[in-house]
Homo-oligomer: A and B are copies of this chain.
Amino acid sequence: MTLSLSEVLEQIGERAASASRILSQATTAEKNEALLAIARRIEQETPAILAANEADLQVGARNGLGSAMLDRARLDPKRIQTIAKSVREVVHLTDPVGEVLREWSRPNGLKISKRRVPIGVIGIIYESRPNVTSDAASLCLKAGNAVILRGGSEAIRSNMALAEAVGDGCKDAGLPEYSVQLVPSTDRAAVTLMAQLDRYIHLIIPRGGRSLIEAVTAAARMPVIKHFDGICAAYVDRSADLQMAERIVVNAKCQRPGVCNAVETLLVHEEIARRFLPDCAGALWEQGVDLRGDSLTREILGSKVLPATEEDWRTEYLDLTLAVKTVRSLDEAVDHIETYGSHHSDAIITEDPLAAQEFLNRVDSATVFWNASTRFNDGAEFGFGAEIGISTDRLHARGPMGLEELTSYKYLVVGTGQVKG
């Protein structure tokens, strides 16, 4: 008897719920044991994983996938070694489960404590990169959660092989083999069915492009934590140290332009624009950056700078392109960021502490920087060890999402027979 897709998902959901009850009670030692076993299994199964990946790549090439996508899906022995290493690194992260977040007593003698507990079952829907299979799973597992994964079709065989190694590792260590499950279907309907499985799944995290995130958000009945665009800005204030400003702007734009915490917009106070822009533009041009600017910027820098359109202010280039705007005040800078930015990472460069304070208070972004590059908005840079992404949402998790953000809490109330009067 073959199960329908919806029956398959129901079964996966039930198994995840039952695994999560055991995982929520697992000790740190048991979870670490499982992570080490998973890393070993991934290493042992390298030939099988590579063979599965080869099959994915052949099918992908036949189906006309672009070379960028094929490259993202490609594994080799070194990449598998890196995958195993990432799993082992999670062993060293502090287990957040059980932490007492707050403890207090009430006048009637009740003792209340607020404790960190796992969320339960987490669904991860992702595209292309097979390493997400083990990276996301190991973080969720360390926080005591069961995981249901749904990867993209271009890596389905690789993901299956990796997920099998992960499940076997869990079993080796005495944890439920269904702690981590992969939806064995590339049918798009599986995403919708998963998004409606709120009886079992407590949180869905889509990792991928805008269309994937929007489809999941529209269909989901459970909470979704999104990792959306980074339309980030650096504002160079009139009181900025201009050399520092140039260093930060070049770093925030060029150090890795394809990521969400790179800046897409440069805002420059009019008063220092003529002193700042020529040098800064020179340094950016040296790195191959293409500039678009407002009229004063173009007056200062010349026609090499194309006019920035309304569209430019809203664009996440993810590339060596930067939109430049001069502003008459800090107010105008903040308004621009609030109007066009994506509330991700924004920086002010200034030596004036009052201006900095105002910017930090008023700019409503996950992380706001004073005299530092926006590229530091990152779990590792924050000291979280690893991250599942950078949340652009405001509820539960905002900014870098580490192990703590993969937990919930519950209240324990201890009495001596108290009843409500």
CA distance A269 to B57 in the complex (A): 59
Q: Could you tell me if B408 and A371 are in contact, using CB atoms closer than 8 angstroms?
A: no
CA distance A234 to B122 in the complex (A): 29
Mark each residue of chain A from 364 to 401: 1 if its CB lies under 8 Å from any CB of chain B, else 0: 11111111110111000111000000000111101110
Which 10 pairs show the lowest CB-CB distances between chains A and B? A372-B415, A251-B419, A375-B420, A396-B396, A244-B417, A367-B411, A394-B408, A395-B396, A223-B395, A372-B418
A295 located at the interface, meaning its Cβ lies under 8 Å from any Cβ of chain B in the complex: no
A412 located at the interface, meaning its Cβ lies under 8 Å from any Cβ of chain B in the complex: yes
A373 touching B420 in the complex, CB below 8 Å, given contacts A382-B112, A395-B223, A409-B398: yes
Residues of A within 8 A of B (CB): 21, 24-25, 104, 106, 110, 112, 117, 119-120, 198, 202-203, 217-218, 221, 223-224, 241, 244, 247-248, 250-252, 255, 338, 356, 360-362, 364-373, 375-377, 381-383, 393-396, 398-400, 408-420
Residues in B neighbouring A376, C-beta threshold 8 A: 110, 413, 415, 418, 420
Q: Could you tell me if B416 and A371 are in contact, using CB atoms closer than 8 angstroms?
A: yes
Q: Is the interface of A mostly helix, strand, loop or mixed?
A: mixed
Listed A/B pairs (20) with beta-carbon separation below 8 Å: A21-B364, A25-B362, A119-B394, A203-B395, A223-B396, A247-B419, A248-B417, A250-B419, A368-B411, A368-B412, A369-B413, A371-B418, A372-B415, A372-B416, A372-B419, A373-B415, A377-B411, A381-B420, A394-B408, A400-B411
Residues in B neighbouring A417, C-beta threshold 8 A: 241, 244, 247-248, 371-372
Q: Could you tell me if B398 and A106 are in contact, using CB atoms closer than 8 angstroms?
A: no
Residues in B neighbouring A248, C-beta threshold 8 A: 417, 419
Residues in B neighbouring A338, C-beta threshold 8 A: 21
A152 to chain B, nearest CB (A): 23
